[in-house]
Amino acid sequence: MPTLEDLRNQLREFARVRDWEQFHSPKNLAMAMIVEAAELTEHFQWLTEVQSQALDPEKREQVAQELADVLLYLVRLADRLDIDLMDAAQRKLVINAQKYPADKVRGSAKKAGDS
């Protein structure tokens, strides 16, 4: 199974052989990632909660492709900014654990500070 680092290296090479580095500024990559996230969201627009959890195989594959697009842009953006995504995610989990202690937020969708 490829690692996140393997994926980053594949994306670097993919962009390099196409001479796309010139277009892969952090701004452009962030914008492209948001576009892909919006395309992902479109698949769930107007579905009920139940429907969103029971996608047919064709819709599930379409969602998988959009998720992949978001991931690819995210990994490429992190690479261009020299951010270790796994390290950043681990640090963020620690922050979230402190911000949302399980004994205080269990079963609640409220954010910290909400009344």
- Does residue 23 sit within a domain? yes
* Residue 17: both structure tokens together: 């052989």
- Does residue 110 sit within a domain? no
Summarize pLDDT for 13-25 with one digit per residue, the tens.
999 999 999 999 9
Mean residue pLDDT across the chain: 95
- Does residue 11 sit within a domain? yes
Q: What is the CATH number of the domain that holds 57?
A: 1.10.287.1080
Domain that holds residue 69: 4-105
Please name the residue ranges forming H helices in the chain. Answer: 4-17, 26-42, 49-52, 57-80, 85-99, 102-105
- Does residue 92 sit within a domain? yes
Give residue 113's pLDDT.
Answer: 58
* Residue 66: both structure tokens together: 């959009």
- Does residue 41 sit within a domain? yes
Q: What residue type is assigned to position 94 of the chain? A: V
Q: Please tell me the distance from the alpha carbon of residue 87 to that of residue 113, in angstroms, as a whole number.
A: 27
- Does residue 10 sit within a domain? yes
Count of structural domains within the chain: 1
- Does residue 113 sit within a domain? no
User: Nearest to residue 32, comparing CAs of 100, 93, 80?
Assistant: 80
Summarize pLDDT for 27-85 with one digit per residue, the tens.
999 999 999 999 999 999 999 999 999 999 999 999 999 999 999 999 999 999 999 99
The answer to whether 47 and 114 are in contact (CB under 8 A) is: no
- Does residue 112 sit within a domain? no
0.75 exceeded by pTM? yes
**Residue 107 region by backbone torsions, left for phi larger than 0, else alpha for psi between -120 and 50, else beta:** left
